[in-house]
Amino acid sequence: MRRLPPLNALRIFEVAARTGSYAEAGAELGLTHGAVSRQIAALESWLGQRLFTRDGRCMVATPMAKIFAAEVGLSFDRLAVAAEACGRPGARRILRVSAPTSLAMRWLIPRLNRYHADHPHVEVAVTTVSCVLEELRGGVDLAIRRGVARADVWPQHRIVPLLDDVDTLIMSPALFAHRPILKPADIEGHTLFASETRAGDWANWLEAAGLQHLAGLPRQIFDHFFVARQAVEDGLGIGIGPLPMLDIDIASGRLMTPLPDIRVPQTGYVAIIPRQAEAGNLVAGFVDWLVGEARGPVP
């Protein structure tokens, strides 16, 4: 007989640790804050130690609880793969993918119709993270993150190179028509937009353009790149954006690259797959599809 903790409490604990919030865990699971709290308390009683500590109004997982939650998440992932292998033939499958917000909005989601057309029995559920370097959490079949294909960076996972990342100057066609940028020095007088999630992009581009002396120009900084991108699309200023992530915006005429020859290579994106997911053809097939999309044309 295995001596296991209460499985429902484990499920709730994993979600609470992953989301970092009892309230968000309750919203994801359809439970009240009190129900989540009671299940966590029951698990703490079973284990004989605290799993969360209070930090202001938030309950934060302890370092040991974070490690435990990661193992629980991996165990649930393995259970999901096993259930898929034993599932009903032809039943609709759910594939959970975690990706940075901008990459999901501008690259992944616009392409999913093509995947669904060829895989009508698969539902791709996309969850987003605001930081490309955010730690991996359980509850997903694969994650897309910025990084290099080295196993020591993400132990217990298989890493597949996915998408290059090259920065260049971006602006709206309307702003270009009003105040064109034909050479690097023409950026003077324009409003410069930047984001905390892609810090250093302007400094790197200015160096590549030979404009290090303009590094002190003021910039409007937003917390996320997708906000800065929207401000650029609205013609309120100029920014530094990644290709090929923004190829769809350039092809549609929402954005343009006034100085396309000035490019700054950045660390690209990789697909990160739990080792136990390798047994499932669904995940492996989706990763192959992602790689093909990364090498293929703009949708």
Q: Are strands 264-274 and 157-170 parallel, antiparallel or unpaired?
A: antiparallel
Residue 60: per-residue pLDDT: 86
CB-facing half-sphere around the CA of 185: CA atoms within 13 A: 0
Residue 273: per-residue pLDDT: 86
Residue 57: per-residue pLDDT: 75
Residue 129: per-residue pLDDT: 82
**Who's near 12: CB < 8 A, 6+ residues apart?**
25, 29, 31, 36, 39, 40
Residue 26: per-residue pLDDT: 86
Where the chain has pLDDT below 70, the residues are: 1, 84-85, 87-92, 131-139, 151, 276-280, 298-299
Enumerate domains of the chain plus CATH numbers: 1-91 (1.10.10.10), 165-266 (3.40.190.10)
Q: Report yes or no: 154 and 160 within 8 Å, Cβ to Cβ.
A: no
Residue 276: per-residue pLDDT: 63
Q: Are strands 264-274 and 142-146 parallel, antiparallel or unpaired?
A: antiparallel
pLDDT tens, 8-49?
A: 999 999 989 988 888 888 888 888 889 999 999 999 999 999
Task: Name the residue among 90, 121, 85, 128 with its Cα closest to residue 276.
Answer: 85
**Who's near 228: CB < 8 A, 6+ residues apart?**
193, 194, 195, 222, 239
120: its two tokens:
């009508």
Longest dimension (CA), the chain: 75
What are the b/e assignments for 239-264, b being 16+ CB within 10 Å? bbbbbebbbbbbeeebbbbbbeebeb
Alpha carbon distances (Å) from 261 to 9, 95, 174: 55, 38, 21
Residue 279: per-residue pLDDT: 47
